[in-house]
Structure 1
C-alpha cells in the first residue's frame, strides 16, 4: 500500500477511536445533569458507566467470536454503525431503565471494534512498525480525552446530555463513512480464521499474563481517574470550572504516553512495558503527597496517564503476536481487560474513600494494583526469555533424534 493510503486508513480508524473515547468517558462529567433529568441519585446514575463497561466486557469476546470469519472491513463498519445507533438511542431513551439498557448495548461493539481495528492497523505496515500503526488508532481514543470529552462536557452543561450523545452518534456515523472510504477491503485477510483457532491462543499462559498486566495496570489508572474531580476540588482546591482543562491535561498525558510508548515498544517492548509500570507506581505514590498543591497535582494528572498508556502498545502488540494467525479474539480481549480494570479500580478506590482514608487514597490503591501488575510483567518477561533460550536447544534435540544411529 502507498504510504498516503496507509495514513488515510489509520486516520479513519482513529476517528472511530475518537468517537468511542468521547462516548465512553463524557458520562463522568455529566452525571449530575443525567441524574437530575432522569430523576435518580448521582450514585444511581453512575450505574450507566458500569453498564457500558459491562457491555464492553460481554461484547468483546462474543462479537469477535461471532464475526471471526467475516472480512475485517465489514466487521468494522457493522460495529461502528452499531455504536452510532446505540448513542442515538441513549439520547432518545425516555426513562432511566431504557437509558441503562441503551448504554449496555452501546458498549457491546467497543472491544470488538478495537480488536479488529488493531489487527487491521498492524496488517497495513511492516511488522517492525505494527505497534506504531496500532497506536495511531488508539490515539483517537486518547485525543478524545483532550478534545472530545472536555468539549462535549461543556456542550452538555449548556444544553443537555442528550444532545451530547446525539453528537457522539453523528461522529460515529462519520467514522463509518471514513472506514468505508479509506480502509482496504482486503485488509487483514481471514480466510483461515476459525473460532477454535482463536480460542487456542488462550491455552498459552503468556496470554493470561498479558491480560493480567493490562487489568492491573489499567486498574491503577482508573482507581485515580474515577475520583479525579473530588480529589482536585477538595484537596488541591481547584474550582469546578477548572475540571475542563484538567481533564484535557489528563487526555494529553494519555496521548503523549501512547505515542511515545509505541515508538519505544517497536524496538524495546519488554523494557518499555516494565518502565511504564514502574513509572506508574512512582507517580501514584508521588500523587499522595502532590494532591494538595495545585501545580504538583496538575503535573501528576499529566504524568500518571502518560506512564500508564506508554505500556499499551506493547501489551496490544504482544498479545497479537502470541495469538499467531488467530489474533482477533486475543486483540479484543485487551479491551475487555481494560474495562474490567475500569470497574475494579473505581470500586476499590471508592472502598478506600468510604473507609475514611480520604479523597487521595485511590492513589494508594493505584500503587498497590500496579505493583501487582509489575510483578506479573516480570514473570511474563522471564517466561518469554526462558522459552526463547530453550528454543535452540529444543531444535538441536529434535535434530539429533532425526540422525540415524
Structure 2
C-alpha cells in the first residue's frame, strides 16, 4: 500500500478519537460549563448529525478543489475548531465547534476514501479502505482510552488539545506526500453522480452498511453498563473490555481488507451469519464473564470485517460517482452509528435491561441478512439483457 495512505489514516485516527472520546468526558464538561449531563450529551448528537448531513454536502463542495486541497482544508478546519473548543468557556460555542468539526470530519473522510482508492489498482479498493479505516479502530483501542486518561489527569480540555496536536503532523505530511490532483472536471458532474447513486445495487449496499454499523454501535454504546450490571465485573474491567472490542475491530478491518477485493460475497454472507450468531450468544451468555469478554473481541472483529467490506463494495458499485461515493458511504455508516444507540436506548427504556441492545444488534443484522438475501435472489432471478431482449422480440 502507498505510504500516503497511512498518513491519511493518521488523520482519521485523530478524528475518530474526537468522535468517540466525549463518552468519558461528559461529566467534566457539564460541571465545568455549568450545564446538565443530558445537555452535555447534545455534543455527541450534534457531531453525529453533522457527520450524516455533512458527508454528501462536503463531498459535493470538494469537487471545486484538488483532492489534496480539499483534504487540507477539511483537516485544518478540524484542527482549528478543536483549539477553539479547548479555549472556550461557552457551551454554545463548544456545541458549534462540534457541528463544524463533524462537517470537516465528514468531508475529510469522504474525500480520503476516494483518494485512497485512487492511489491503488482498480482491484485493491478493499485493502485501501481497510488501511484508512484502521485509523478508526486504533482510535477505539488507544485514542479513546488515552483521551479519558488525559481528561482525568488534566481536565477535559487537554483531550481537545491532544486531538489538535495529533492533527498537526497529519496536515504537514498530507501537504508533502499526498498527490495534488486537480479539481474534478470532464466527469459526469454532481447531478450525473447523484443519478449514478440511484443504482439498486448501491442503494442496497448503503442500507446494509447502515444496518450492520447500527448493530455495532448499538451494543458498543452500552458496553460499559453491560459489563458492570449484567456481567458483574468491576469498573476496572470496562476499559479492558472496550480495548478488546477495539483490538477485535482492528483485526476485523485487516481481515476484511485481505478478502474484500477477492471474495467479498462469501465474507459478507459467512461473516454476517457469524455476526448474528455472536450477538445472540452474547445476549444469552452476558452474565458469564469469560464468555462476555471473549465475545467482545470476536464481535468487534466480525463487525468491522463485514462493515469495512461493505464500504469497499460501495466504492466498487459507485464507479459512476467517483467523488460522491465516499460521502454517501460515510453518511450511511453514520446513520447506522446514530440509529443503533437510539434503538438500544429504546430497548433499555422498555424494560429489557442492558441485554436489550444485544438483542437489537442481533435483530439489525438479521434484517441486513434478509435484505441482502432478497436483493441477491432478485438479481439472480432477473433475466440477462440479451435474454430479455430476445424474449421481448419473440
Same fold (TM over 0.5): yes
Post-superposition CA distance 1:61-94 (Å, at most 9, x none) = 1111112242111111111111112222222221
Take 1:73 and 1:175, find their aligned partners in 2: how far apart are those partners? 12
Take 2:225 and 2:38, find their aligned partners in 1: how far apart are those partners? 14
Q: Is the 8 A contact 1:201 1:322 kept in 2?
A: no
From 211, 214, 222, the equivalent of 1:216 is: 211
Q: Which residue of 1 aligns with 2:309?
A: 314
Q: Which residue of 2 aligns with 1:171?
A: 166
From 284, 288, 301, the equivalent of 2:296 is: 301
What is the number of equivalent residue pairs in this alignment?
393
**Post-superposition shift, 1:198?**
1.7
From 104, 128, 136, the equivalent of 1:141 is: 136
Q: Is the 8 A contact 1:122 1:134 kept in 2?
A: yes
Q: Is the 8 A contact 2:218 2:341 kept in 1?
A: yes
**Post-superposition shift, 1:397?**
5.3
Query: 1:386/1:70 Cα in 2 relative to 1: closer, same or farther (>3 Å)?
Result: farther
From 229, 232, 240, the equivalent of 2:235 is: 240
Take 1:188 and 1:315, find their aligned partners in 2: how far apart are those partners? 27
- 193-202 or 98-107: which moved more? 193-202
From 101, 104, 115, the equivalent of 2:110 is: 115
- 354-363 or 316-325: which moved more? 316-325
Question: Are 2:49 and 1:60 aligned?
Answer: no
Residue ranges of structure 2 left out of the alignment (5+ in a row): none
Could you say what the CA RMSD is over the residues aligned between the two structures, in angstroms? Answer: 2.2
Take 2:121 and 2:379, find their aligned partners in 1: how far apart are those partners? 23
Take 2:379 and 2:263, find their aligned partners in 1: how far apart are those partners? 14
Post-superposition CA distance 1:275-315 (Å, at most 9, x none) = 22222211111111222122211111111121111123332
TM-score normalised by structure 2 residue count: 0.94
1:89-104 to structure 2, matched below 5 A, reads 89-104=84-99
TM-score normalised by structure 1 residue count: 0.91
Q: Which residue of 2 aligns with 1:390?
A: 384
Question: Are 2:325 and 1:291 aligned?
Answer: no
**Post-superposition shift, 1:21?**
0.9
- 347-356 or 191-200: which moved more? 191-200
Take 2:152 and 2:285, find their aligned partners in 1: how far apart are those partners? 30
Take 1:151 and 1:163, find their aligned partners in 2: how far apart are those partners? 11
From 72, 76, 85, the equivalent of 2:80 is: 85
Residue ranges of structure 1 left out of the alignment (5+ in a row): 1-5
From 360, 365, 387, the equivalent of 2:360 is: 365
Post-superposition CA distance 1:211-245 (Å, at most 9, x none) = 11111111111111111111111112222233222
**Post-superposition shift, 1:111?**
2.3
Post-superposition CA distance 1:176-232 (Å, at most 9, x none) = 112112211238965525211221122212222111111111111111111111111
Query: 1:144/1:67 Cα in 2 relative to 1: closer, same or farther (>3 Å)?
Result: same
